[in-house]
Amino acid sequence: MQFIVAVVLLFLCRALRILKFPLAVSAAKAKGLAPMVLINVIGLSFNNFTLQLVDASYYQVARGLLVPFTVATSFIYLQSRPSLKVLSACAIVTFGFFVGVVLDKSYSSFGNSNATLGIVCGLVSTLTTSLHAVVIKRSLDIVNGDTLELAWYNNLLSALVLLPVIHLAGETPAIIDLLTIVELAKGEEWTTWQTFLVGTAITVSTAQSSYLFNCLC
C-alpha cells in the first residue's frame, strides 16, 4: 500500500503538472534499476519482520549497526574512504549494539527464538538499508539524476514485485479480512481498513520524505 499510494500521488501530481518527470517505463532503465528495487523490497520485508518479532522499544537496537554497515558498503562500492573520526563513531555504535544485545536478558536468552530471529532480521534489514543508500547513488546515473523519475520507478516496480509475493506468502485472506471486519470503537462501527488507511497515510508521508531526502543527499 505504501508503494501504491506513492505511485498514485506521483501520477496525480504529474497529471496536474505539479511535478515533471517521464511516466513511460523503459525496459532498459527497469533492468538497470532492478538491484535497487530488489534491495528495497527485501529491506522493507525484513524491516516488517523485525517489528513483528521484537518490541518497538527494541527496534532501533536490533537495527543498531546501520551506521557501520553504511560506512563499510560505501567504502567497498563507492571507494569512499572514512576518516578516523567516522571509524571511531562506528566503533562506539557497534559497541552499543553488542551491549544492548548481550546485556538485555529478554534478547540475549538463547531460549527466546523469536527475539534471536528478530535481531537477525534487523541485521538483514540494516544491511539492505545501507546497500540501498549506495545503490540509489548509482541508480541516479541511470535516470540522469532525476530524483522524481527514480522515485516513480522505485515505487512502481517495487509494488509490482511485492504483489505476487504477498499472495505466495499466504497473506491474501488477511487482506480480505482487513477490508471487511467491523469493530466497535466507543459505540460506533469502525472497519479495520479505516485504521489501516490512517497508518498508511502516515507511513507514506514519512517514508517518501526520507526516500527523497536520501536521493537529494
Q: Are 119 and 98 within 8 A, CB to CB? A: no
Tally of structural domains, the chain: 1
The pLDDT of 160-167, averaged and rounded, is 87
Is 202 among the domain residues?
A: no
Least confident range of 30-44, 82-96, 168-182:
168-182
Q: Is the dihedral of CA 108, 111, 114, 120 positive or negative?
A: positive
Is 190 among the domain residues?
A: no
**What is the C-alpha separation between 154 and 149, in angstroms, rounded?**
8
Is 30 among the domain residues?
A: yes
Q: Is the dihedral of CA 46, 121, 92, 99 positive or negative?
A: positive
Structure confidence by residue, pLDDT tens digits, 21-39? 888 888 999 999 999 999 9
- Cell readout for 10 is 506521483
Q: Are 58 and 104 within 8 A, CB to CB? A: yes
Residue 123: which domain range?
2-170
Is 204 among the domain residues?
A: no
Structure confidence by residue, pLDDT tens digits, 110-129? 445 677 788 888 889 888 88
Is 186 among the domain residues?
A: no
Is 177 among the domain residues?
A: no
Q: Is the dihedral of CA 18, 22, 25, 29 positive or negative?
A: negative
pTM: 0.73
Structure confidence at residue 107 (pLDDT): 56
Phi, psi of 133 (to 5 degrees): -60, -40
The pLDDT confidence band at residue 109, using thresholds 50, 70 and 90, is very low
Structure confidence at residue 59 (pLDDT): 76
How is 115-146 classified by DSSP, letter by letter? HHHHHHHHHHHHHHHHHHHHHHHHHHHHTTT-
What single-letter amino acid sits at 3? F
Is 149 among the domain residues?
A: yes
The pLDDT of 75-95, averaged and rounded, is 89
Cell 504483489 belongs to residue: 163
Is 160 among the domain residues?
A: yes
Residue 46 has pLDDT above 50, yes or no: yes
Least confident range of 87-96, 103-112, 127-136:
103-112
